[in-house]
Chains A and B, each alone.
Chain A
Amino acid sequence: MSIAIRRRVQLAVLLGPVSLFLAVFFLGPLAIMMVTSFLAPGLYGGVEWTFYPHNFGRILGFADPMFEDFDPVYIAIFLRSVKIAALTVLAALIVCYPAAFCIARLSERWKNFCLFLITLPFFTSLIVRLFVWVLILRQTGLVNEMLLSTGMIARPLDLIYTDGAIILGMVYVFIPFMFMPVYASVEKLDWTLVRASLDLGAGPIRTFWRIILPLTAPGIVGGAIIVFIPALGNFVVPAILGGAKVMMLGNLIEQQFLAARNWPFGSALAMMVMSVMLVLLLVYVFASSRRGADAALNR
């Protein structure tokens, strides 16, 4: 057996299990969902096996009133979800970026300890942690009680069941996802480049924009994508901290499947979300592969 063939066999053996798993449990359901999104909803749940593009029409506005009504509320929910996910990304970045610089400068022992602290929330249930936020934010919660008792406010504030509460909860959930890639690129930053910039006459602010930010950008972009995608489709946080008042895409889809039992429409919504994410990912992959090609060329 030639070495080349042996290599290939090795590769097949190593990649076999994961490929099989993904094909059966990821691509399979995905295909089912894609097909379902073009089928008609059955009268009592389930699907009718006819081609039915109106699920998408209902969202995007080319619905034939004979079958489905176009309702701009879906686009509105979509846009609001994008807004909340984007604000989550921004807030998480504002929290994580400076912290990454601090932790990167600590000694090895403290570094590892801090990284451990950041992953600590994973050890408890997400639902439990979010319910603690309910206790903190609700009308009779910790924050309101404190503000009332100090006399700073006369009536409890509406903290929970707002966009703000959702963003707070999302940032809380996604901080580790933002922190890790940001930290990885901040830690790799070569500080002699910063010194070189200062030495060449650039002040601290210009050095940040011209040297530090571009060199840590891969981590920022990576973190932003890893947070944005699950934030866009997240339904746990809005369900608990948004109550019934704030609906996001995740809740809408969940509702279509579990409450309205309109599987085709739910699938169509899910397909829409996925296509947006796909576009984002492709942009990222394209940009980073170009960088990669650059790096390969540079070697």
Chain B
Amino acid sequence: MQDSIVRLEEASKAFATPEGGSVTALDAIDLQVRRNEFLTLLGPSGCGKTTLLQAISGFVELDGGRILIDGEDMTDRPPYRRPVNTVFQNYALFPHMTVGENTAYALEVAGVAKAKRREQVAAALKMVGLAGMEGRRPRQLSGGQQQRVALARAIIARPKLLLLDEPLSALDKNLRQAMQIELKTLQHELGISFIFVTHDQQEALTMSDRVAVLSGGRIQQLDTPRAIYDHPVNSFVATFIGASNLFDGRIDGDRLMTGDGTEIHHRRTANTAAGAATALIRPEQFFLAGEREPFPTLDVDLEAIVFVGSTFELFGRTSTGKKVIAEIPAGRRSLIGDIERTRRAKLAYDPVAVHLIHACAEA
């Protein structure tokens, strides 16, 4: 237990709706965040991820369950007495204070002497690449710079845990990608756990040690980005993370038969049970038949061929009308030329790469 910095035990929260009903935001969530871990809470809006974050920071009071931070029960503590700091979505910098005063706020509140404060502020600003900006006002800074001030302000008091509430959503794409890498580096340097909330799956996969996929107030899957991508436990996770081709059907030996008669081959393992299941094939696992034989194939009528730089994206339907997306490396120009003419493609796949989601795993 000592390797977890945060522990949620059956944390529950429901909100009343204006119509008089109630919405479950947290459905008895159990979660342990490890020390020095970069954990991402990922999910569509309304899945409970922000509520979960606010429950940890203390702005949402739980209906039931407990929250322990570093072994101490925090369930009934107000936000200002929790060893947790937050980077807010819109940065929430104090407009009437300078960058230096903003950054020093947590220290000032804690009663740290002025000289020491100045020293630590300089160090924190240097860490986020804003050395010497103490005298500026927040409004004089660009969005990215404001973001960094918010970061410096939140880490200066060395919280046991840093919460980040979609902090990158307001930045443009290039800046966002740069910040993703910086955040990850910063987390390593600081050696404190980050809990990062986002609805952007790319962001989650890029930065996290582990990702918790939330939906309907529950953690659907908590695992490393690769495990979540390669082995989603249910079709919600499979569709939410990355593009996917899902085939519902029944397992029959080493193939899965869908209702409309499509056959998907897979590799049988010890865990493969007979019964209803869903087969997942990621778009990039398809390749054009004829390149490597012999592999099972799907015949697809193409509706669109989109060039996106490094790959071609093929959108098509099987003979039974099932939609299929495939991603073909753009290096295979000659093959693409063929299918562009015929508007038909034989999409091959390796049965080993087919991931089976068994029906019983569905929530």
Binding site for B on A (CB under 8 A): 190, 192-193, 195-204, 206-207, 210-211, 214-215, 294-295, 297-299
Contact = CB atoms under 8 A, between A and B. Distances in A.
A200 B96 contact: no
Contact of A215 (B85, B95, B139): B95
A188 to B, nearest CB: 11
Given A197-B105, A198-B78, A201-B110, A298 B137 contact: yes
B315 interface: no
A288 B302 CA distance: 65
Contact of B105 (A200, A203, A299): A200
A169 B109 CA distance: 42
A25 B153 CA distance: 55
B140 A195 contact: no
12 contacts: A192-B92, A196-B88, A196-B94, A199-B79, A200-B154, A201-B110, A202-B105, A203-B80, A215-B96, A297-B137, A297-B140, A298-B138
Contact of B109 (A202, A295, A297): A202
Given A192-B88, A297-B140, A299-B139, A202 B96 contact: no
The 3 closest A-B pairs by CB, nearest first: A298-B139, A196-B92, A200-B106
A124 B94 CA distance: 43
Contacts of B106: 200-201
Contacts, number: 67
A201 B140 contact: no
B307 interface: no
A215 to B, nearest CB: 6
A211 B59 contact: no
A199 B80 contact: yes
Given A199-B85, A201-B157, A298-B140, A193 B80 contact: no
B86 interface: yes
A199 B90 CA distance: 15
B57 interface: yes
Nearest to B57: A199
B79 A198 contact: yes
Contacts of A211: 94
Given A193-B94, A200-B85, A207-B80, 13 more contacts: A192-B88, A197-B94, A199-B58, A199-B80, A199-B85, A200-B80, A200-B105, A200-B109, A200-B154, A200-B157, A203-B80, A210-B105, A214-B96
A195 B79 contact: yes
Interface in B131-163: 137-140, 153-154, 157
Contacts of B79: 195, 198-199
Contact of B139 (A202, A207, A295): A295
A200 B90 CA distance: 16
A198 B92 CA distance: 12
Given A206-B109, A214-B96, A195 B137 contact: no
Contacts of B58: 198-199
A203 B109 CA distance: 9
Contacts of B137: 294, 297-298
Contacts of A197: 94, 105
A299 B138 CA distance: 10
A13 B94 CA distance: 42
A202 B104 CA distance: 12
Contact of B153 (A200, A202, A210): A200
A214 B139 CA distance: 17
A201 B58 CA distance: 11
A204 B80 CA distance: 9
B201 to A, nearest CB: 26
Contacts of A198: 58-59, 78-80
Contacts of A298: 137-140
Interface string B88-115: 1010111110000000011001100000
A201 B139 contact: no
Contacts of B57: 199
Contacts of A215: 95-96
B18 to A, nearest CB: 10
B95 to A, nearest CB: 7
Contacts of A203: 78, 80
A294 B110 CA distance: 29
A210 B94 CA distance: 10
Interface in B41-94: 57-59, 78-81, 84-86, 88, 90, 92-94
